[in-house]
């Protein structure tokens, strides 16, 4: 009996020892990370023909040529170029007669946002059903958002590093163990400083310092509740405003019921931000990031994508029309560990009440039913069947 007790004690010690080997203590219970990449989660095979059996979509240049061929007849700038720009800046749900090609597969990245398994849902790469990512249907066959060819996708993600407007920080507080903790506080800030790079200026290194932007970045200060299970942080749904400016114009993404799912380590974090993206905010961010010229690089027709997003939108119905205004989506993201300077936290403590983030509501706000449907003067020519 004594031997058995002795053995049990040894086993208990061994288990405790093993557990402590897996536990990751966090100095002071706080660890922070800075975002280093952000891309819409479009799961892709290298060969577009696998994901998009009908091919990829046309962009502004191809659509313009189809609508207004150079056949020797005079073409009016006001009825061609300007009308295309009108549809970009005042998008509607009216069909544009161009076929919209969407991915043909059943797998997608993302999370089960509504806890249900619906016919239009996807299956995750590891077999989880009920994945909500209708954004993938809208972007999966747009060259610009395909990994290898997605030049605008790469450019937009590159701005997360290079543009300090986009310096999103995630701070975890009350962390007893980075591997498992059933209650952590997650604070979101905008940082003010460049990321810590290696000597070659290529790789981002952990351990840099950041100040919190408590003046211009007050709208980005947000709080989430989370837990850590087996090294994966998951947060409760909450609306999230993410700064994402490209080409020197302020622009943000507004994701409703957003949740983080990040695999944590002491030096980095990576995973998904999933939720229901506000379609109007998405469209505005895209229009501000890329003019029609830049959209043409990646066959990214703003007006066609808007129509697709409104068709695929699956949440937050407009109380006036019943039409959904948000689309299930996921963003792939990576972070590197940073230290937030204590004096910055002190400034935050005295920053006073924080403003609520504003979600863009469309142009103008609110729209009339006629505007929503696209029944506006001057649309007939530019929306004609090619």
What is the nearest approach in angstroms of other proteins to the Cβ of residue 165? 4
Cβ 268 to other proteins, closest distance in Å?
25
CB closer to other proteins, 177 vs 372: 372
Nearer residue to other proteins within complex by CB, 323 or 359: 359
* Complex with other proteins: residue 163 or 173, whichever CB lies closer: 163
CB of 67 to other proteins, least distance (A): 12
Which one, 232 or 376, has the nearer CB to other proteins? 376
**Residue 337 beta carbon to other proteins: minimum distance, rounded to whole angstroms:** 22
Asked whether the CA dihedral 316, 334, 46, 131 is positive or negative, the reply is negative
**Nearer Cβ to other proteins, position 15 or 380?**
380
Which residue reads 């994508």 in tokens? 305
Q: How far is the CB of 247 from other proteins (least distance, A)?
A: 6
| CA–CA dist 237, 260 (Å, integer) | 8
Q: Locate 359 and state its tokens.
A: 């979600």
Q: How far is the CB of 47 from other proteins (least distance, A)?
A: 27
Token digits for 223?
A: 């709080």
* Residue 163 token pair: 């543009």
Residues β-bridged to residue 181: 228
Residue-by-residue DSSP string for 175-188:
-S-SS-EEEEEEEE
Instruction: Round to whole Å and give the CA distance between 289 and 278.
Output: 16
From the CA atom positions of the chain, what is the Rg in Å? 24
**Alpha carbon distance 137, 80 (integer Å):** 29
- Minimal distance, residue 167 CB to other proteins, in Å: 10
Q: How many whole angstroms separate alpha carbon 276 and alpha carbon 118?
A: 16
Q: How many Å apart are CA 68 and CA 229, to the nearest integer?
A: 57
Q: How far is the CB of 52 from other proteins (least distance, A)?
A: 22
**Residue 31: CB partners within 8 Å, gap ≥ 6?**
171, 172, 175, 178, 264, 266, 337
- Least distance to other proteins, CB of residue 150, Å: 18
Q: What whole-number distance in Å separates Cα of residue 74 and Cα of residue 223?
A: 57
Interface ranges with other proteins (CB under 8 A): 60-61, 64, 70, 74-78, 80-86, 89-90, 163-165, 194, 215-217, 219-220, 243, 245, 247-250, 252, 284, 287-288, 291-293, 296, 355, 358, 360-365, 371, 376-379
CA 282 to each of CA 27, 183, 295, 360: distance values in angstroms, whole numbers, following the listed order: 38, 32, 14, 9
Beta bridge partners of 222: 188
Q: How far is the CB of 264 from other proteins (least distance, A)?
A: 28
Q: If you ran DSSP here, which 8-state letter would residue 383 be given?
A: T
CA distances from 31 to 160, 169, 187, 223, 242 (A): 20, 11, 11, 15, 20
CA atoms 315, 319, 322, 324: torsion sign: negative
Of 125, 102, 111, 122, the residue nearest 55 (C-alpha) = 102
């Amino acid at each position: 009996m004594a031997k058995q007790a002795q053995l049990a004690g040894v086993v208990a010690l061994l288990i405790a020892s093993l557990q402590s080997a897996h536990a990751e203590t966090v100095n002071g219970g706080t660890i922070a990370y800075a975002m280093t990449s952000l891309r819409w989660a479009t799961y892709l095979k290298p060969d577009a023909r696998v994901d998009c059996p009908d091919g990829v979509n046309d962009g502004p240049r191809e659509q313009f040529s189809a609508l207004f061929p150079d056949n020797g007849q005079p073409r009016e700038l006001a009825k061609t170029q300007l009308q295309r720009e009108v549809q970009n800046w005042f998008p509607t749900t009216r069909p544009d007669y161009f076929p919209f090609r969407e991915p043909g597969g059943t797998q997608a990245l993302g999370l089960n946002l509504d806890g249900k398994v619906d016919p239009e849902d996807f299956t995750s790469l590891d077999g989880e059903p009920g994945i909500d990512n209708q954004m993938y249907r809208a972007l999966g066959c747009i060259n610009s958002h395909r990994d290898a060819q997605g030049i605008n996708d790469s450019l937009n993600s590159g701005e997360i590093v290079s543009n300090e407007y986009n310096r999103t920080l995630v701070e975890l507080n009350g962390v007893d163990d980075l591997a498992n903790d059933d209650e952590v506080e997650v604070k979101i800030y905008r940082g003010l400083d460049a990321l810590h790079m290696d000597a070659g200026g290529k790789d981002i290194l952990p351990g840099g310092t950041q100040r919190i932007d408590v003046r211009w970045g007050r709208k980005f200060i947000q709080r989430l509740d989370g837990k850590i299970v087996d090294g994966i942080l998951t947060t409760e749904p909450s609306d999230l405003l993410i700064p994402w400016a490209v080409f020197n114009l302020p622009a943000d993404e507004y994701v409703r019921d957003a949740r983080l799912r990040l695999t944590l380590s002491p030096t980095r974090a990576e995973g998904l931000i999933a939720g229901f993206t506000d379609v109007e905010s998405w469209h505005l961010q895209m229009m501000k990031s890329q003019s029609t010229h830049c959209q043409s690089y990646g066959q990214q027709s703003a007006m066609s994508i808007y129509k697709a997003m409104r068709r695929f939108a699956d949440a937050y119905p407009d109380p006036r029309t019943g039409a959904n205004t948000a689309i299930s989506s996921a963003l792939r993201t990576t972070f590197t560990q940073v230290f937030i300077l204590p004096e910055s936290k002190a400034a935050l403590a005295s920053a006073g009440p924080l403003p609520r983030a504003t979600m863009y509501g469309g142009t103008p706000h609110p729209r009339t039913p006629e505007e929503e449907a696209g029944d506006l003067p001057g649309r007939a020519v530019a929306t004609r069947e090619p």
